[in-house]
Amino acid sequence: MQLLDGKLISHQIKTEIALHVREKLLDAGLAAPHIAAVLVGEDPASQTYVAAKEKSCREVGFLSSVYRYPDNITEKQLLKVVDFLNNDPEIDGFIVQLPLPKHINEQKIIERINPVRDIDGFHPVNIGKMVLGLPCFLPATPFGIVTLLERGGVETAGKHCVVLGRSHIVGTPISILLSRKSTHGNATVTLCHSFTPDLTKYTREADILIVAMGKPDCITKEMVKPGAVVIDVGVHRVPSEETKSGYRLKGDVKFDEVSRVCSRITPVPGGVGPMTIVSLLQNALKASQKEIK
Ligand code: GUN
């Protein structure tokens, strides 16, 4: 088994982006890309993600701003924040970190974002363009997965990809990207979800298994075809006495046993997570170059 090392590949891409920022933008007297994140409430996972995005921005020479609000912010007030960021001439693109508090309609907030600044690729205009194969912002996690497969030397054309989970953020878009007629597509895709009977029947058929179920340790070695490529999108905090923070991260896949039967696997942490962040940086660069209209 060989690791599909998201930490390494994301580092290579960040080095390329940093070089671009320095040589093509700053040295030419142009501004560095500037992105913003809106963070509502105190959700620890969201805070960690936003902090990681800020750190990555600094590393490549982007500017980043974080707009923090308490979780009692009203929907109307949050829509005003989105309007402000849609029009701020200093900003190239922005994200609203999800999940939002229950009293706020997430879809309404997403639909208010100007699609040319929607570097998360969640706006229906960007999703529609993705389905049609038109230039657009791709959602960061699926974009990160296809980049990881491509740069990791995993061919998708003609392969059977089985995707577990149909969320708007991961499962649905990755199934579309992998089946598209394009360089990192041309796969036959099966999308499984909570209504799929006998999951193992499908997972055992997968050349490439993409797991985005949101359930820790749910994929065992019996569910994986020997030699398959396994992409674990799950991130779960579990208590641990071995770390200073008192917790450690684990994925949806039982890494220790599945890594003995598959050919390639993404670790958690250090697999899909860093690829998601670097994809956001790639989208931010596109936004600053006004590539998406
Ligand atoms: N919450 C979990 N993943 C994401 C993401 O990629 N973008 C945003 N905005 N929120 C998230």
Angle, vertex CA 175, rays to CA 111 and CA 48, nearest 5: 60
Shared domain for 169 and 146, answered yes or no, is yes
Catalytic residue selected from 5, 92, 118, 120? 120
- Output the domain CATH number for residue 81: 3.40.50.10860
Residue nearest to atom 9 of ligand 1 (CA): 97
Residue nearest to atom 4 of ligand 1 (CA): 98
Model confidence at 292: pLDDT above 90: no
Shared domain for 188 and 214, answered yes or no, is yes
> pLDDT tens-digit profile of 118-128?
999 999 999 99
Q: Which of 114, 123, 126 is nearest to 82 (CA)?
A: 114
Distance 44 CA to ligand 1 centre (A): 13
> pLDDT tens-digit profile of 156-180?
999 999 999 999 999 999 999 999 9
> What residues does ligand 1 touch, defined as CB less than 6 Å away?
95-98, 120, 140-141, 169, 276
Residue pair 205/228 in contact by the 8 Å Cβ criterion? no
pLDDT number for residue 274: 97
- Output the domain CATH number for residue 222: 3.40.50.720
pLDDT number for residue 184: 84
3 lies in a domain? no
Instruction: Give the domain range for residue 152.
Output: 140-273
Provide, rounded to the nearest whole percent, the portion of the chain with pLDDT above 90: 96
> pLDDT tens-digit profile of 33-52?
999 999 999 999 999 999 99
pTM for the model: 0.97
Shared domain for 95 and 216, answered yes or no, is no
**One-letter amino acid for residue 138 of the chain:** L
169 lies in a domain? yes
Catalytic residue selected from 97, 225, 252, 254? 97
pLDDT number for residue 127: 98
Please state, in angstroms and rounded to a whole number, the distance separating the CA atoms of residues 179 and 174.
9
DSSP 3-state of 103: coil
E-only strand ranges, the chain? 2-3, 34-40, 63-69, 93-96, 160-164, 188-192, 208-211, 229-232, 236-239, 247-250, 264-265
Provide, rounded to the nearest whole percent, the portion of the chain with pLDDT above 70: 100
Q: Which of 211, 198, 128, 103 is nearest to 167 (CA)?
A: 211
Shared domain for 149 and 264, answered yes or no, is yes
> pLDDT tens-digit profile of 199-246?
999 999 999 999 999 999 999 999 999 999 999 999 999 999 999 989
Q: How big is the chain, counted in residues? A: 293
Q: Which of 67, 76, 79 is nearest to 41 (CA)?
A: 67
53 catalytically annotated: yes
pLDDT number for residue 291: 84
Question: Mean per-residue pLDDT for 245-255?
Answer: 95
Question: Mean per-residue pLDDT for 236-265?
Answer: 95
Number of separate domains in the chain: 2
DSSP 8-state secondary structure symbol assigned to residue 138: P
